[in-house]
Amino acid sequence: MPQLLGIEWIDIFSSVERKITYLGMVAHSIYTYPVGNMVLVAPLFWLFPFHWFFLILLYTAWVYYDRDTPSKGGYGLDFIRKWRVNRWNADYFPARVHKTADLDPEKNYILAYHPHGIISMGGWVNFASNGSGVMDMYPGITFNLCTLGLNFKIPIRREILLLFGCIDCSKESIEYVLCPKTNKGRAIVLVVGGAAESLDAHPGKHELTLLSRKGFIREALLTGAQLVPVYSFGENDVFEQAANPPGSRLRKWQDTLRKSMGMSLPIVKGRGYLQYSFGFLPLRRPINTVIGAPIHVEKMENPTKERIDELHEEYVKKLTELFEKYKGQFGVKKDVKLVLK
Instruction: Give Cα separations from 183 to 18, 107, 108, 144, 205 (angstroms).
Output: 41, 9, 8, 13, 37
Closest CA to 164 of 289, 98, 70: 70
Angle at 166 (CA atoms; ends 17, 310), nearest 5 degrees: 110
Task: Tally the residues of the chain.
Answer: 341
Taking the C-alpha atoms of residue 145 and residue 168, their distance in angstroms, rounded to an integer, is: 9
Boundaries of every domain in the chain: 3-32+66-340
pLDDT at site 4: 66
pLDDT tens, N- to C-terminus, the chain (341 residues)? 567 667 888 888 889 999 999 999 999 988 888 777 777 777 767 777 777 788 889 989 999 999 999 999 999 999 999 999 999 999 999 999 999 999 999 999 999 999 999 999 999 999 999 999 999 999 999 999 999 888 899 888 899 999 999 999 999 999 999 999 899 999 999 999 998 999 999 999 999 999 999 999 999 999 999 999 999 999 999 999 999 999 999 999 988 888 887 778 889 999 988 888 888 899 999 999 999 999 999 999 999 999 999 999 999 999 999 999 999 999 999 999 999 99
pLDDT at site 70: 96
Please give the class, per CATH, of domain 3-32+66-340.
Answer: alpha beta
Taking the C-alpha atoms of residue 72 and residue 32, their distance in angstroms, rounded to an integer, is: 21
Q: Is the dihedral of CA 220, 147, 262, 284 positive or negative?
A: positive
Burial letters 251-285, b for 16+ CB under 10 A, else e: eeebbeebeeeeebebebeebeeebbeebbbbbeb
Taking the C-alpha atoms of residue 283 and residue 285, their distance in angstroms, rounded to an integer, is: 6
The identity of residue 276, as a single letter, is Y
pLDDT at site 1: 59
pLDDT at site 236: 97
* Contact indicator for 161, 31 with CB cutoff of 8 Å: no
73 C-beta neighbours (distance < 10 Å), count: 21
